[in-house]
Amino acid sequence: MAQAQEDENHWPGFVDALSTIVMVVTFLLIILAIAIFVMSLQIAKGFADNNTTDVLLDTSTNMKVSEKVIVESTEEVDVPSDASAVAVIDADDRFFFQFDGLTIALDDDSAGRLMPFVEKTEPIRDGRKYVVQSYFDPSIGYTKAKRLAYYRMLAVRGALSENGVAAEEIEIYVREAPTLDRINTVEIVTK
């Protein structure tokens, strides 16, 4: 009987210490996750504040700039949604429109620049399709950015249709921008 009193149960103290350690580590991980999230938003905001048109023109080495078209003054940060694409970049098998701010439309001049591209790629198109890919920046509000990219893609698809491309010859995609120079661009590729 005396021996039963000498044996103490250490398990409750061990479990309390272990659960306290787990709670402290979990709390620290939550604080770390919040800090990483806030820092990533700040970094993405810093990249978004840069002029993506200049980044696109400076870092792309496999394309030639056919012409930069400034439709409206781009000094203000927010471009009204009724403005048009500000840059047209033409490569051998690719065609890019660079949009700025909330721009979703193509004016007649920008849309007319598609005609030479369609004429150039038509002889080699036999059974191939035009792939229209609109890229967006997910760091500025995923839903809003994706919606803007969708409307931009529809504007370019409509311009292709007006230039004589049948609807069944066009594939459309809205994707996250793989690199910074693709943010707010619509790319047309023959596939």
Checking if the pLDDT of 55 tops 50, the result is: no
Biggest CA–CA distance in the chain, Å, is 101
Q: Which residues lie below 8 Å from residue 170, measured CB to CB, with a gap of 6+?
A: 129, 130, 131, 132, 157, 160, 161
**Which has the minimum average pLDDT: 24-28, 53-57, 144-148?**
53-57
Q: Do residue 69 and residue 110 come from a single domain?
A: yes
With contact defined as beta carbons under 8 Å apart, do 124 and 110 qualify? no
Residues 32 and 58 in one domain: no
Q: Which domain holds residue 135?
A: 52-190
Model confidence pLDDT, tens digit, residues 58-115: 444 444 445 454 444 444 444 455 556 655 666 667 888 888 878 888 878 888 788 8
| Residues whose CB is less than 8 angstroms from the CB of residue 150 and which lie 6 or more positions away in sequence, other chains included | 134, 174
Higher model confidence: residue 97 or residue 53? Answer: 97
- Token couple for 190: 């023959």
**Do 99 and 37 belong to one domain?**
no
pLDDT number for residue 86: 58
pLDDT value, residue 19: 97
The pTM for the full model equals: 0.55
Query: Cα–Cα distance between 143 and 45 in angstroms, integer?
Result: 17
